[in-house]
């Protein structure tokens, strides 16, 4: 969220068979469709000069896929918010 803007963040954690699913959702400004294919790329940021390094989602992606053997996906609508779904095996 931008400074001074209130919003809601929610988390859902559930077990589905032999997997753990973690869902993060917010009602923030969302991600522009032109950025969809770049958000997990290292050093890609829309906040350059404002403290953004472009490493956060890349780090999450690598931990989820390489360390935990899972997957991450997202859905975003500009002006309505974003949801990330992380799934990884329990075994």
Spans of all domains in the chain = 9-89
Any idea which architecture 9-89 has in CATH? Answer: 2-Layer Sandwich (3.30)
State yes or no: pLDDT of 49 exceeds 80. Answer: no
Tokens for 79? 């002006």
Q: What is the mean pLDDT of residues 21-31?
A: 96
Q: Which helix (H) or strand (E) holds 85?
A: strand 81-89
Q: In what order do the strands lie in the sheet with 81-89?
A: 9-16, 19-26, 81-89, 71-77
Higher pLDDT residue, 8 or 53?
Answer: 8
Q: Report residue 3's pLDDT band, with 50, 70 and 90 as the boundaries.
A: confident
State yes or no: pLDDT of 48 exceeds 70. Answer: no
Tell me the pLDDT tens digit for each residue of 62-73.
999 999 999 999
């Amino acid at each position: 969220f931008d400074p001074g803007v209130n919003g809601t963040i929610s988390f859902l954690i559930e077990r589905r068979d032999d997997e753990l699913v973690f869902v993060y959702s917010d009602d923030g400004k969302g991600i522009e469709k032109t950025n969809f294919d770049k958000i997990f790329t290292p050093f890609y940021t829309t906040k350059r000069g404002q403290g953004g390094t472009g490493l956060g989602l890349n780090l999450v992606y690598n931990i989820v896929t390489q360390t935990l053997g899972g997957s991450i996906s997202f859905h975003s609508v500009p002006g309505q918010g974003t949801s990330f779904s992380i799934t990884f095996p329990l075994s």
